[in-house]
A and B are shown apart, each in its own frame.
Chain A
Amino acid sequence: MTPFEVNATNEDGVVELALKGELDIASFSLIEDRLREVEAEKPKVIVFDLRELRFMDSTGLRVIISADKRARRDGWRVAVVEGPEAVHRVFRLALLDRRLDFVSDPAEARGDAS
């Protein structure tokens, strides 16, 4: 198993959360804790970069859907950089590939923010 990692960078209110490895319930607290930290900095956008994610189950849907709800409520934005097929198809199966804001790379989300 590839251990899960999350790396956050904040550039002018655009937070990139780069996720690596396998995302399941074992990594839930780690990513939720990081999210609460970066949300406390009042970002304009949080971009979930899934390109280095090897596996994701519905834990990933829960994390991103609930972040998206908080974003809509509090006036910031969630964007998602599409991961490999094994990851992206989970969004497709849940019909979330059209409901969430998918971008091709983090720069696209930065451009939208300005």
Chain B
Amino acid sequence: MTSRQAKGARVPIDVELRVAPDAISEARAAVDGLPGDDALLNNLRLLVSELVTNSVRHAGLDDRSRISLHIETTPAVVRVEVSDPGPGFAPSVPDLRISQESGWGLYLVDELADRWGVEAEGGTCVWFEIDR
């Protein structure tokens, strides 16, 4: 057990993404090499896709800006951070009583992540963690 934990030491992934629609699939591809079962990797692909989409669509970034994707893993948890230089937002999830056409990204993050949050200091960082 001790040796497995030692081998499962942090494998940080850092990807710089352009503010463009094809950045979303590039971000998902970064998940492919991570250790974990299909269920975990599918959750990560979906949530990474949602957060990078939010940065591309809503952060009001110019073409020269970059979106940073940071993923780190320990034997206990996977932590993902998506940062951009945008002004940030108040975290809220949609009300399912109304069939909505937007806001699903954070709803899915809220459903699938064990913890998540938004930090706004010199830009915006949306992070989430999934326990293994």
Contact = CB atoms under 8 A, between A and B. Distances in A.
Interface string B45-59: 110011001001100
Q: Could you say which of A26, A58, A61, A66 has the most chain B C-beta atoms within 10 Å of its C-beta?
A: A58
B92 interface: no
Interface residues of B, number: 25
Give the bracket for the number of chain A residues in contact with chain B.
Answer: 20 to 34
A24 B101 CA distance: 14
A2 to B, nearest CB: 9
B22 interface: yes
B111 A65 contact: no
B2 interface: no
Interface of A: 1, 22, 24-26, 28, 55, 57-59, 61-62, 65-66, 68-69, 86, 89-90, 93-96, 99
Interface of B: 21-22, 24-25, 28-29, 42, 45-46, 49-50, 53, 56-57, 96, 99-102, 104-105, 107-108, 111-112
